[in-house]
Amino acid sequence: MKTKRIVTLLMALLLLFSLAGCGGSESGAGDPADKTTVIFGNTAGEPGNLHPYNSIGVGTSVVNRNIFEYLCQYNGDNELEPRLAESWEVEDDGLTFYLRKGVKFHNGEELKASDVVFSFKEVILNSTGGYAGNLESIDPNGIVALDEYTVYMPLFNKDSNIMPMVAGIQIVNEKAYNELGQDFAYKPVGTGPFMMKEWVTGDHIDLERFDDYWGGTPQIETVRIRTINEVSQAMIELETGGIDVLIQPSGEDVTRVKNGEVEGIVAVTDPNAATRNNNVNFNWLSPYFSNQLVREAVAHCIDRETWAEIISPGTGTPAYSMVAAGVWGYDPELENNYPYEYNIELAKQKLAEAGYPDGFSCIMFTDARAYHQSLCELLENSLGQIGIDMEIQTMELTQQKEIMVTGEGFDLYMLDNIGNASSFLASLWRDSHPRFATTFSTHHHFYTVNDAQGQRYADLMDAIREELDDDKRLELCKELQQVFTEDLVWIPVNTISAYTLVNDRLTGYFTTGGDVYITPETHFE
């Protein structure tokens, strides 16, 4: 393995020197101050499209975060800051946003209140990316422009979660959206510091500087997002100058960087802004995993304390709750009272009680992310000890989600849930609420076969959303976590702090939850 890495490194170096000989600034050669292209290595998979409301996943967000902007945005201290809205007012029955004047879209149109009205109505009424459920409290028919730069959004009910949800919606230009139609997903038009230039499928997406950006003309001229399927290869390119930013690096490489073993690279994260839970999820239409005893058998096969260090060394910790530690409302008592300890003999007993003393064969879906692959391999080995033969099928995340929603051809799947530290419901609402868990998860299949539990979950989530008293809301959050744990809706395995590895000569970027935003101040020193 070590020899293979050395050979690969030598090949990457030869390629790098070849590019430098051709005078390409993208290689990182020459004076860093003259380097005007930032190159991302995206290991999360190429996006299916770039539609801000109908496509989800890291592959999409790594591109769109520099094209589109929000009304407001959380910073690394988990505080809301103005973006396209200079200020806002929050009342029990409605929200009012006061927009910046003079903001331009990439097509030259000025941002107006009508664009914001259009964006939120489109999300609520027509989106397929799971965002509509997050904004259920907003009455789409009542969203109005009070003047050219003021937007009012009426609320159906009190919603303690509404500002984190509003802060996650990217604003589009109504004219471009309507004129481009389906092409908008491939030629997006936003107000961000960079605009779409070129998409070479399977290789890279290029964004070019938007000279009329309201925050000032960016110093960086081009942002290139390269699709690199192998995390190890991406790390080699980061070390040799082929890329400047590595999205979703391996835990081993993060640890090496944090320990000072890799020269010229820094590890960046804002753990208070976003957290990621790595979960084993069940297909509730599977004849095996709709059985509570089978799910308990699987839960007893997971050695989360040991696995966390294997799956994400240096960046991961054991997970016990439906939300990650650090999210407001997290119940730390679950860490000491988790009911499914690692116990292979007990797992065998549970499986026999379920009617499968000799085990069975099943299929697990996952994408190619390294930490997902590691978890699947550990689970495959552990389940094998109790007679469950698990076949791992790896595919692009977009394809996985398309199949998952049908409920056919698989029994288990690997998927994270990512939450905002300020919002207990940030990911749970669209992933797990019976009314909305249909787009990219199979949790809705749970509710089709578990009506009573589904109603209980819905009632608890509704109560959390509508309760404005923090103490009362905290108790409801703890109750919901206990219910999910008892029923094993999914099995949390480990929590991963979101790290990104960055060339230490790059400065002036904005980070939140491991994401890197290229700003007008971003440059190479």
Cβ atoms of 380 and 411 closer than 8 Å: no
Question: Do 260 and 281 reside in the same domain of the chain?
Answer: no
Q: Does the pLDDT value for residue 3 go beyond 70?
A: no
Question: Do 133 and 205 reside in the same domain of the chain?
Answer: no
Of the given ranges (48-62, 165-179, 473-487), which has the lowest mean pLDDT? 48-62
In terms of Cα–Cα distance, which of 231, 227, 243, 264 is closest to 15?
Answer: 243
Three-state SS for 50-108 is CCCCCCCCHHHHHHHCCCCCECEEECCCCCEEECCEEEEEEECCEEEEEECCCCECCCC
- Amino acid 1: pLDDT: 40
Q: Is residue 54 part of a domain?
A: no
What pTM, to 2 d.p., does this model score?
0.75
The predicted-structure confidence for 433-455, as pLDDT tens digits, reads as follows: 777 665 445 565 676 677 778 88
> Number of structural domains, the chain?
3
Q: Does the pLDDT value for residue 274 go beyond 90?
A: no
| Triad 304, 309, 315: Cα angle to 5° | 115
Percent of the chain with pLDDT strictly greater than 70: 89
Q: DSSP assignment of 190-219, as one string?
A: -SSSEEEEEEETTTEEEEEE-TT-TT---S
Q: How far apart are CA 412 and CA 363, in angstroms?
A: 6
Domain boundary at 179, 202, 230, which? 179
Q: Is residue 478 part of a domain?
A: yes
Q: Does the pLDDT value for residue 136 go beyond 90?
A: no
Query: Which CATH number fits the domain that encloses residue 112?
Result: 3.90.76.10
- Amino acid 46: pLDDT: 87
- Amino acid 399: pLDDT: 84
Q: How far apart are CA 45 and CA 58, in angstroms?
A: 8
The mean per-residue pLDDT over the stretch 477-482 comes to 95
The predicted-structure confidence for 204-250, as pLDDT tens digits, reads as follows: 999 999 999 999 999 999 999 999 988 899 999 999 999 999 988 88
Question: Do 171 and 232 reside in the same domain of the chain?
Answer: no
**Confidence grade of residue 75 (pLDDT, cut at 50, 70, 90):** confident
Query: Which CATH number fits the domain that encloses residue 471?
Result: 3.10.105.10
Question: Do 175 and 94 reside in the same domain of the chain?
Answer: yes
User: What single-letter amino acid sits at 150?
Assistant: T
Q: Is residue 267 part of a domain?
A: yes
Q: Does the pLDDT value for residue 25 go beyond 70?
A: no
User: What single-letter amino acid sits at 249?
Assistant: P
Q: Does the pLDDT value for residue 482 go beyond 70?
A: yes
- Amino acid 132: pLDDT: 77
The predicted-structure confidence for 85-128, as pLDDT tens digits, reads as follows: 999 999 999 999 999 999 999 999 999 999 999 999 999 999 87
Question: Do 442 and 510 reside in the same domain of the chain?
Answer: no
Q: How far apart are CA 57 and CA 222, in angstroms?
A: 23
Q: Is residue 51 part of a domain?
A: no
- Amino acid 7: pLDDT: 38
Q: Is 150 exposed, middle or buried (0-12, 13-18, 19+ CB in 10 A)?
A: middle
Question: Do 418 and 459 reside in the same domain of the chain?
Answer: yes
Q: How far apart are CA 40 and CA 120, in angstroms?
A: 30
Q: Is residue 65 part of a domain?
A: no
**Confidence grade of residue 10 (pLDDT, cut at 50, 70, 90):** very low
Question: Do 297 and 363 reside in the same domain of the chain?
Answer: yes
Q: Which domain holds residue 295?
A: 274-496
- Amino acid 433: pLDDT: 77
The pLDDT mean for the chain works out to 87
Cβ atoms of 512 and 274 closer than 8 Å: yes
Q: Encoding tokens for residue 61?
A: 């967000």
CA 392 centroid distance within chain: 22
- Amino acid 468: pLDDT: 87
- Tell me how far CA of residue 147 lies from CA of 96, 111, 154, in angstroms: 12, 12, 16
Question: Do 421 and 296 reside in the same domain of the chain?
Answer: yes
Q: How far apart are CA 409 and CA 415, in angstroms?
A: 17
In terms of Cα–Cα distance, which of 52, 369, 365 is closest to 228?
Answer: 369
**Can you tell me whether residue 492 is helix, strand or coil?**
strand
Q: How far apart are CA 65 and CA 86, in angstroms?
A: 19
Question: Do 197 and 173 reside in the same domain of the chain?
Answer: no
Cβ atoms of 516 and 209 closer than 8 Å: no
- Amino acid 245: pLDDT: 97
Query: Which CATH number fits the domain that encloses residue 36?
Result: 3.40.190.10
Q: Is residue 67 part of a domain?
A: no
- Amino acid 87: pLDDT: 97
Q: How far apart are CA 503 and CA 429, in angstroms?
A: 36
The predicted-structure confidence for 146-180, as pLDDT tens digits, reads as follows: 999 999 999 999 999 899 889 989 999 999 999 99
**Confidence grade of residue 27 (pLDDT, cut at 50, 70, 90):** very low
Domain boundary at 179, 207, 233, which? 179
Q: Is residue 55 part of a domain?
A: no
Q: How many CA atoms lie within 13 A of 106 on its CB side?
A: 24
In terms of Cα–Cα distance, which of 248, 260, 274, 230 is closest to 78?
Answer: 274
The mean per-residue pLDDT over the stretch 422-432 comes to 77
Question: Do 457 and 397 reside in the same domain of the chain?
Answer: yes
The residues near 424 (Cβ < 8 Å, ≥ 6 apart) are: 161, 323, 327, 328, 329, 330, 464, 473, 477
Q: Is residue 66 part of a domain?
A: no
Question: Do 331 and 232 reside in the same domain of the chain?
Answer: no
Question: Do 207 and 172 reside in the same domain of the chain?
Answer: no
Domain boundary at 152, 179, 206, which? 179
